[in-house]
Structures are given as structure tokens and as C-alpha cells.
Amino acid sequence: MKLEARMRQSIKRRSGTVIFRSDIAALGSQTQVTHVLNALLKKGELLRLASGVYAKAKQVAGNGQVRPQASLETIIREVTKKWGLVLHEKPTPFSSGSTDEIVIETETPRISRKLMIDGRIVWVRSQRRKPKNNALSLQQTIPTKGVARYIQDLAYQHQIIYTDNPMDQWADTVTRLAGDEVKSDGIEDLLIALKRAGKLSKQDVAILAVNYLRERQQSVRPI
């Protein structure tokens, strides 16, 4: 039996719609397998989804158009399962800005793979992380007035107090020996404590510190 016939038979007997090159690689040499796969693609018996990834296909009567034998969702589930990716129970595709391009999120970290299914681009990507509930989001409004009270309330809400550590003591000593008199006040210390506790990001601390210092400077009247 010729290799093309054996590969066609092997593909037909396999359950599901998706075929990986690795599924049939043992039937011949690398060059032979590539040659037969290209032949099956030209005959409309397979569709290429990605490098080494194919789907069983059929020709539509009348116009000869080649279509996959299964639905878009079925193919996505089969491919991601073979890739070992974890999808939600009911994956919800969403547009990425084009009607011909969709994105499917997976719980598997650090993944971004591209498929071409029936003329549509499908991206399979890691789920976007949501901001922690206990952290201040930059999308929220950071105050420009009453900043000190805001920081105090935030620290009280999370039961955060400032305690200096050996690194703080070392920094104070270096500053004093250098002849500088720069010293943070209680509000700035609370910002440091909130950052250390993971309640504020570095950007949040920077914005709050600038707003606090600006407000404090405005409140100081010249004599």
C-alpha cells in the first residue's frame, strides 16, 4: 500500500477532527510525510491550521470550497486539548478589533499561539490577570486633595503601620553622615509600609507621594 493511502486510512480512523503531524510522523520519513500532507491539502482532504496542525476537511458541493468537518468551537477544543492547555468550561471568544480575528483565553500561563480556522484568525492566549482586590488600581481616582487623610485611612483599613527595618536605619545613617537633613514624615512612612505590604504598586506610591508633597507645599504660607 502506498504511503498516501496508508496516511489517508490512518487519518480517517482517528477520532475527532484535528490531526497533528506527530500523529502520523512514524508512517514515513520527514520528506515523505511532508509530500503526502501537501498532496492531501491540495486535494481538499485536510486544512492547515498552524505549523504541524491540520483538520479533516470536506469540499462543499457546488462551489468546491474546502471547509473543516467540525465547528470552530470543536476544533479549538481539540487543538487546545492536544496542546495540553486549560480552557474555561465555557470559553468565550471575543473580538480583538477585527471581525476575522478572535481571541480565546486559557488558564495556562505564558501562552500565545495562532490558528487559522476556516478563514478566521484565532489567538489562544493566557488569561489576562485581574488587579488584586486589596490593591489600589491606577484606574481608580487618586485624590489630589486630602491626600494625607486618604493615606491614613488606607493604612487603617488594611491595619498597616510603619516599622523601620535595618535598611531604613542604614539609609538614615548614610544620609546623616553625608550632611543631609532629608527625613520622611509619618505620611511618607505609611506609603512605604503600604508598598511593602503589597497594598500599593510602585506607580501608586509615586503618584500619591507627589500629590501629598504638592498639597503640603501649597498649605505652607510664606511669612
Q: Dump pLDDT digits (tens) for 25-49.
A: 999 999 999 999 999 999 999 999 9
Give the chain's end-to-end CA distance (angstroms, integer): 102
Residue-range domains of the chain with CATH: 1-70 (1.10.10), 71-129 (no CATH), 147-219 (no CATH)
Q: What is the DSSP letter of 55?
A: E
The whole-number average pLDDT for the span 153-182 is 63
Mean pLDDT of 3-20: 94
pLDDT for the residue 98: 47
φ, ψ of residue 88 in degrees (nearest 5): -65, 160
pTM of the predicted model as reported, rounded to 2 decimal places: 0.55
Task: Tell me what percent of the residues of the chain surpass a pLDDT of 90.
Answer: 35
**Is residue 192 predicted with pLDDT exceeding 70?**
yes
Q: How many CB atoms lie within 10 A of CB 103?
A: 17
Q: Which residues contact 142 (CB under 8 A, 6 or more apart)?
A: 136, 204, 207, 208, 211
How high is the pLDDT of residue 174?
Answer: 46
Angle at 113 between CA 83 and CA 36, to 5 degrees: 70
Q: What is the pLDDT averaged over residues 139-151?
A: 78
